[in-house]
Amino acid sequence: MLKCRDIESMASEYLDKNLSLRQRMAFKMHLFLCHNCRNYIRQLRTTIESIRLMPQKQPIVIDQHVKNLAQQLKDSTQK
Amino acid sequence: MSIKADPPPLKTEAELIKGMLAGESSAFEMTVALYHNRMLTIARAIIGEAFAEEIVQDAWLSAIRSLNEFAGRSSLQTWLIQITANAAKTRLRREKRQVSLDENWQQIESDDLFDASGHWREHISEWDLETPEAILANDQLSDIIRQTFEKLPAQQQAVLTLYDLEGETMPQICNILGISASNARVLLHRARSVIHQQIHQYQEND
Ligand SMILES: [Zn+2]
């Protein structure tokens, strides 16, 4: 029988669909019985989705560092 | 001085390459802005902070030199990451002394989370902000996520970037970073857990 501690350590594998059928069954059985772990898995899934959504909300920054390097690269093509 | 504006109409990789071959400054700037940090993340994960900037600098120069031959066999980003990873691994072999990675290791002690019988110490409740959209719409929380991401140990950040942001497969990631599959899996879960912890703390205290 899996413990909550096991659920936590296997959670990414579960969400990435990397568990064997047997492990997956045991995992789901624990979730069925354990309210805390159901909430934890839901939280972790939301966390992963938030991470994946993050770059789309990020502006592209062209600062002096970027400009300097870009200039250096451009110059290197003209030698 | 940094200019933070809405992203300009995104050029496709093909347009960026064409622009660089034509010597357009804006194409170089956009390409560097898009990929430089990703390349640094990869270099740091392989060879550590001390050599990362130098490796990436060299990787850029060699990539631009062979831009003509890059016929779009892969995506531009994949190609740049590959060049960076190869350069870092070559350097790693040449450096005799051990390169230190992940010095600021911050592991969540599982004893803090679970009691002796392996149960959660605390009741895990549902979050108030329960969708990714709601979480990222909260400015404070989205800053917390970004900052936590940037402070992740190099290897964790690299695996998280490649897997969750770039959608690379695990075998590709192991190949790029030169680590085992089980190691990559552990790093991925740690990275996600650190960010989960931060979101959780914010939601609990709010
Ligand atoms: Zn449980």
**Considering the entire predicted model, what is its pTM?**
0.87
A7-55 pLDDT, tens digit each:
999 999 999 999 999 999 999 999 999 999 999 999 999 999 999 998 7
Residue B3, pLDDT > 50, answer no
* pLDDT of B204 over the 50 cut: yes
pLDDT surpasses 90 at B5: no
Confidence of residue B173 (pLDDT cuts 50, 70, 90): very high
Q: What per-residue confidence (pLDDT) applies to B70?
A: 80
pLDDT digits (tens, 9 = 90+) for B59-117: 999 999 998 888 767 788 889 999 999 999 999 888 765 555 554 445 555 668 899 99
**ipTM score assigned to the predicted complex:** 0.91
- SS3 label, residue A59: coil
Residue B4: its pLDDT value, please? 47
Of B136, B139, B50, B58, which is closest to residue B97 (Cα–Cα)? B50
Give mean pLDDT, residues B107-131. 86
Q: Is B105 on the interface with A (CB under 8 A)?
A: no
Average pLDDT of span B5-21: 75
What is the 3-class SS of chain B, one letter each residue?
Answer: CEEECCCCCCCCHHHHHHHHHCCCHHHHHHHHHHHHHHHHHHHHHHHCHHHHHHHHHHHHHHHHHCHHHCCCCCCHHHHHHHHHHHHHHHHHHHCCCCCCCCCCCCCCCHHHHECCCCCECCCCCCCCCCCHHHHHHCHHHHHHHHHHHHHCCHHHHHHHHHHHHCCCCHHHHHHHHCCCHHHHHHHHHHHHHHHHHHHHHHHHHC
pLDDT at position B100 is: 58
Q: Which domains does chain B have, with CATH numbers?
A: 13-95 (1.10.1740.10), 101-206 (1.10.10.10)
Chain B positions touching A54 (Cβ under 8 A) are 136, 142, 145-146, 149, 165
Q: What is the pLDDT of residue B160?
A: 97
| Residue B1 reports pLDDT greater than 50 | no
Residue B185 has pLDDT above 60, yes or no: yes
Band (A61; pLDDT cuts 50, 70, 90)? confident
CA dihedral sign of residues B193, A47, A60, B31: positive
Q: Report the half-sphere exposure of A37 (CA within 13 A, side-chain side).
A: 22
With CA atoms as reference, report the closest residue to B42 among B52, B32, B34: B52
Contact B120 A71 (CB under 8 A): no
**Per-residue pLDDT for B20 more than 60?**
yes
Contact between B43 and B84 (Cβ < 8 Å): yes
Which residues are paired to B120 by β-bridges? B114
CA of A6 to the centre of ligand 1 (A): 8
Residue B2 has pLDDT above 50, yes or no: no
- Label residue B12 by pLDDT band (50, 70, 90): confident
Interface residue A68 vs chain B (CB under 8 A): no
Q: Which residues from chain A sit within 8 angstroms of residue B125, using beta carbons? A: 39
What confidence score (pLDDT) does residue B103 get? 44
The interface residues of chain A toward chain B in range 25-64, judged by CB-CB distance below 8 A, are: 35-37, 39-40, 42-44, 46-55, 57-64
Question: Which stretches does DSSP call E strand in chain A?
Answer: 61-63
Contact A18 B185 (CB under 8 A): yes
pLDDT band at residue B30 under the 50/70/90 scheme: very high
Q: What percent of chain B has pLDDT over 90?
A: 71
* Least confidently predicted of B8-17, B23-32, B101-110: B101-110
Contacts of A40 in chain B (CB under 8 A): 120, 124
A43: nearest CB among B4, B145, B200: B200
Q: Looking at chain B from residue 141 to 200, which residues have their Cβ under 8 Å from any Cβ of chain A?
A: 142, 145-146, 149, 160, 164-165, 185, 188-189, 192-193, 195-196, 199-200
Question: Inter-chain contact B57–A48, Cβ cutoff 8 Å?
Answer: no
What pLDDT is recorded for position B68?
83
Under DSSP, the state recorded for A62 is: E
- Which pLDDT value is given to residue B94? 84
